[in-house]
């Protein structure tokens, strides 16, 4: 595929990996502990696993898979609210496909659908608005979800609905913002992150200026990264280069898509429709100030939370879940007590097991990169592998 294959060239990867290895040799931190780089966005997590990138990197680099999967961080209480809305009479509840499997306290949207609720998968909020036009006797609720990436399309849809005077369309707004969340991670006492890969698609909307504080106040480099495997390697190289040269700056590797100043039109639509909430609850991370948005009062007629009654009950994350620690890079997914036992992609307990962009689901599906890396170098004896299998077997039994 043109414009894609160029970013998957294994020869260029070899060159980059050689330089990455050389940089690692020059970085002092790497002599005492692995250098921790967080990819904030779930899209990067997915690429890293899909192309087996982690296994190609030197051992001195540890990738921490960040909170940037909007489906993963949705708390149980909000899913319960979705189900309450979906189960209202004469309602069509529309959602992106990924959100269907997220477990609420009693069931997921997929189960609610099986129980008879009219839950439909859409690919754009505009499809939901079309459904509202075609079904004037039904209320069509759109489950707005995602970071700044998806926020503008939701905002434009609401503006369109208002302009067209559509009365049977509303938005259940669960949009969240990335900056306060990165800040919360940086402020966390057990944080151990040396540098960041910044989210590509979020930055396409917000630009790169909002990240400045990460370089200025926390002295951590951040490189806004593209999603192809060469993009990711190149961005890691850029982070390492900064660390090796003692710099911490905000750089833009994904400049073919991300303008430094962001997208004014998208930002204007977002600002017109949404305002910051005081706080928003995240699965695995708890409540984070100013990390979510809701609709401004001018759009109250389109706000499902105010148009209808939702239970709005806060439900604590399952106690055994260690998603928060995984998100902050304190533990690896495999080290979580419930990983692969009570928590699997079929029956996810924790946020990170839900979507293919979640770190735990990626580990479960694509394998432990450390183990694959050792296998690559023939460092694992056959006996050891069998032992590993046995342990996994035991886990499954438990």
Partner 1 sequence: MNKPANINVPKPPRKRGKVSIKKVSLAHGGGGKAMRDLIDDVFVSQFDNPYLSPLEDQARFELTDLAKHGDQLAFTTDSYVVDPLFFPGGDIGKLAICGTVNDLAVGGATPLYLTCSVIIEEGVEIEMLRTIAASMAKEAASAGVKIVTGDTKVVNKGCCDKIFINTAGIGVIRTGYNLSSGNAVPGDVILVNGLLGDHGATILAARGDMALDAPIESDCASLHGLIKTILDICPDIRFIRDATRGGLATVLNEIAQASGVSIEIEEDKTPLRTEVKGFCEILGLDPLYLANEGKIVVVVPAEHADEVLSAMQGHALGTGAAAIGAVGDWDAGRVTMRTVFGGRRIVDMLVGEQLPRIC
- Beta carbon of residue 246, minimum distance to partner 1 (angstroms, whole number): 31
Binding status of residue 398 toward partner 1 by CB under 8 A? no
Residue 33: both structure tokens together: 């502990």
Contacts of 304 (CB under 8 A, 6+ apart): 85, 141, 170, 171, 172, 173, 310
- Beta carbon of residue 320, minimum distance to partner 1 (angstroms, whole number): 20
Binding status of residue 201 toward partner 1 by CB under 8 A? yes
Q: Of 320 and 390, which has the nearer Cβ to partner 1? A: 390
Binding status of residue 179 toward partner 1 by CB under 8 A? no
Q: Of 74 and 238, which has the nearer Cβ to partner 1? A: 74
Q: Of 212 and 384, which has the nearer Cβ to partner 1? A: 384
Residue 78 to residue 71: CA distance in whole angstroms: 11
Binder among 67, 75, 146, 350 for partner 1 (CB under 8 A): 146
Specify whether the CB–CB gap between 168 and 140 falls below 8 A. Answer: yes
Binding status of residue 376 toward partner 1 by CB under 8 A? yes
75: alpha, beta or left? (left if phi > 0; alpha if psi -120 to 50) = beta
- Pairing state between β 222-224 and 139-146: unpaired
* Burial class of 221 by CB neighbour count within 10 A (0 to 12, 13 to 18, 19+): buried
- Beta carbon of residue 255, minimum distance to partner 1 (angstroms, whole number): 20
3-11, 185-193, 246-254, 275-283 -> range binding partner 1 (CB under 8 A): 3-11
- Under rule CB under 8 A, how many of the chain's residues touch partner 1? 54
Q: Of 124 and 287, which has the nearer Cβ to partner 1? A: 124
Binding status of residue 231 toward partner 1 by CB under 8 A? no
- The sign one gets for the Cα dihedral 248, 254, 256, 257 is negative
DSSP per-residue string spanning 255-304: TTT--TT--HHHHHHHHHHEEE-SEEEETTTEEEET-BEEE-GGGGGGBH
Binding status of residue 198 toward partner 1 by CB under 8 A? no
- Beta carbon of residue 323, minimum distance to partner 1 (angstroms, whole number): 18
* Burial class of 35 by CB neighbour count within 10 A (0 to 12, 13 to 18, 19+): buried
Residue 295: both structure tokens together: 């609709």
User: Hey, which bits of the chain come out as E strands?
Assistant: 35-41, 61-68, 91-95, 118-121, 139-146, 169-175, 195-198, 222-224, 250-252, 274-276, 279-282, 286-289, 293-295
Which positions from 10 to 49 touch partner 1 by CB under 8 A, shown as an x/- string? Answer: x--xx----------------------------x--x--x
Binder among 256, 365, 379, 387 for partner 1 (CB under 8 A): 365
Binder among 76, 85, 100, 288 for partner 1 (CB under 8 A): 100
Q: Of 274 and 363, which has the nearer Cβ to partner 1? A: 363
52-60, 111-119, 190-198, 258-266 -> range binding partner 1 (CB under 8 A): 52-60
Residue 185 to residue 181: CA distance in whole angstroms: 6
Which residues bind to partner 1, rule: CB under 8 A? Answer: 1, 4, 8, 10, 13-14, 43, 46, 49-56, 70-71, 96-101, 110, 121-124, 127, 145-147, 149-150, 201, 229, 344-346, 355-357, 364-367, 372, 375-376, 382, 385-386, 389
């Amino acid at each position: 595929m043109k414009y894609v294959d160029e970013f998957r060239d294994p020869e260029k990867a070899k060159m980059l990996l050689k330089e990455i290895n050389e940089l690692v040799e020059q970085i002092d931190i790497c002599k005492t502990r692995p250098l921790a780089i967080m990819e904030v966005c779930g899209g990067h997590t997915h690429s890293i696993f899909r192309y087996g990138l982690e296994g190609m990197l030197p051992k001195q680099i540890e990738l921490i898979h960040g909170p940037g999967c909007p489906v993963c961080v949705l708390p149980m209480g909000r899913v319960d609210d979705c189900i309450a809305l979906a189960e209202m009479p004469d309602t069509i509840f529309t959602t992106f496909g990924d959100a269907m499997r997220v477990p609420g306290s009693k069931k997921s949207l997929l189960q609610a659908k099986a129980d008879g609720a009219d839950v439909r998968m859409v690919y754009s909020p505009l499809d939901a608005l079309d459904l509202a036009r075609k079904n004037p006797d039904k209320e069509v609720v759109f489950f707005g979800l995602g970071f700044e990436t998806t926020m503008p399309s939701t905002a434009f849809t609401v503006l369109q609905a208002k302009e067209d005077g559509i009365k049977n369309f509303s938005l259940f707004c669960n949009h969240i913002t990335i900056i306060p969340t990165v800040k919360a991670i940086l402020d966390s006492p057990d944080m151990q992150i040396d540098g960041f890969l910044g989210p590509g698609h979020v930055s396409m909307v917000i630009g790169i200026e909002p990240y400045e504080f990460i370089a200025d106040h926390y002295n951590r480099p951040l490189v806004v990264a593209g999603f192809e495997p060469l993009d990711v390697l190149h961005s890691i190289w850029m982070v390492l280069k900064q660390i090796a040269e003692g710099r911490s700056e905000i750089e833009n590797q994904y400049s073919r898509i991300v303008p430094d100043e962001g997208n004014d039109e998208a930002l204007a639509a977002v600002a017109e429709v949404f305002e910051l909430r005081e706080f928003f609850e995240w699965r695995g991370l708890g409540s984070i100030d100013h990390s979510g948005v809701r609709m401004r009062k001018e759009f109250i007629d389109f706000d499902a939370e105010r148009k209808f009654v939702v239970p709005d009950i806060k439900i604590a994350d399952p106690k055994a879940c260690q998603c928060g620690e995984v998100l902050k890079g304190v533990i690896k997914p495999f080290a979580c007590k419930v990983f692969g036992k009570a928590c699997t992609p079929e029956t996810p307990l924790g946020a990170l097991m839900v979507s293919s962009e979640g770190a735990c689901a990626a580990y479960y599906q694509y394998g432990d990169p450390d183990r694959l890396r050792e296998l690559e170098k023939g460092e694992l004896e056959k006996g050891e592998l069998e032992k590993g299998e046995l342990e996994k077997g035991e886990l499954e039994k438990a």
